[in-house]
Amino acid sequence: MPDSTLPDSAAKRVWQRAPEEARRADLIRATIDCVADGGVAAATVREVAARAGVSNGLIRHHFATKEALVLAAYKALVEEMTGAAEDAAAEAPPALRLASFIAANCRPPVLDAGSLSAWAGFVGHVRSDPEMAAIHRAGYQRFCAHLETAIAGLALGGDTARQARQIAALIDGLWLEGCLAPELFADNELARLALDGAGRILNTTLTDPEETRP
């Protein structure tokens, strides 16, 4: 319902914009699901429209080409995965923000077989598509920057940029194995492995935020 505190014209614009944004988000989610099931080739305009429950023409209204839709979907996936871990860290006390970010990457919803399938479907095009590569670089830089800021907050000394990349590599490996073969790991083992490994890199002890909850 429009905000009654806004002028009529502004309220109308807000009311009209929401469905447009929701439709665009639905199309992006349908594209991610298509890529997860069959790779980028499976994300045809017809299949995306069918999954989103819209007409082919509506896709063309939001995205000039299929390639633009695929790029938007890959960007959304990368931002969604990193954003979930950032949100978990933001809710933690400052002393636990690094541990919260690390652990969140080793637990659902970031640790998710569907996300891995979608990521794998997209990432095969990173080396051949400059725009896809740019999205990948931006996502990696954002991930490392968050780690670096959190590491710096602990005031441990050392090369925080290098430490951030080392921890990013550790998280990537555990995330991949945890998505591919979760049955190989006990409950909470992945998060504990990540925190122990990161602690060795930083020469400190990182407490699992789950263990501090009452």
Task: Give the model confidence (pLDDT) of 18-69 as tens digits.
Answer: 488 889 999 999 999 999 999 999 999 999 999 999 988 889 999 999 999 9
Residues of the domain holding 191:
74-206
The answer to whether residues 30 and 102 belong to one domain is no
The pLDDT assigned to 10 comes to 42
- 164 and 133 together in one domain: yes
pLDDT category, 82, cuts 50, 70, 90? very high
Find out whether 48 and 34 touch, Cβ atoms under 8 Å.
yes
Residues 81, 58 within the same domain? no
Confidence (pLDDT) at 94? 87
pLDDT at position 8: 47
We report the CATH number of the domain holding residue 29 as 1.10.10
Structure confidence at residue 213 (pLDDT): 63
- In this structure, the answer to whether residues 59 and 78 fall within a common structural domain is no
Q: Quick one: pLDDT at residue 153?
A: 93
Per-residue pLDDT, 107: 96
Same domain, residue pair 121 and 196: yes
Task: Examine the domain organization and report whether 50 and 126 are in the same domain.
Answer: no
Task: Say if residue 93 is in the same domain as residue 134.
Answer: yes
Write down the pLDDT at residue 209: 85
Last residue of a domain, one of 63, 82, 116: 63
Least confident of 10-14, 32-36, 121-125, 153-157: 10-14
What average pLDDT does the segment 68-83 reach? Answer: 97
Which CATH number does the domain housing residue 110 bear?
Answer: 1.10.357.10
- Full-model pTM: 0.86
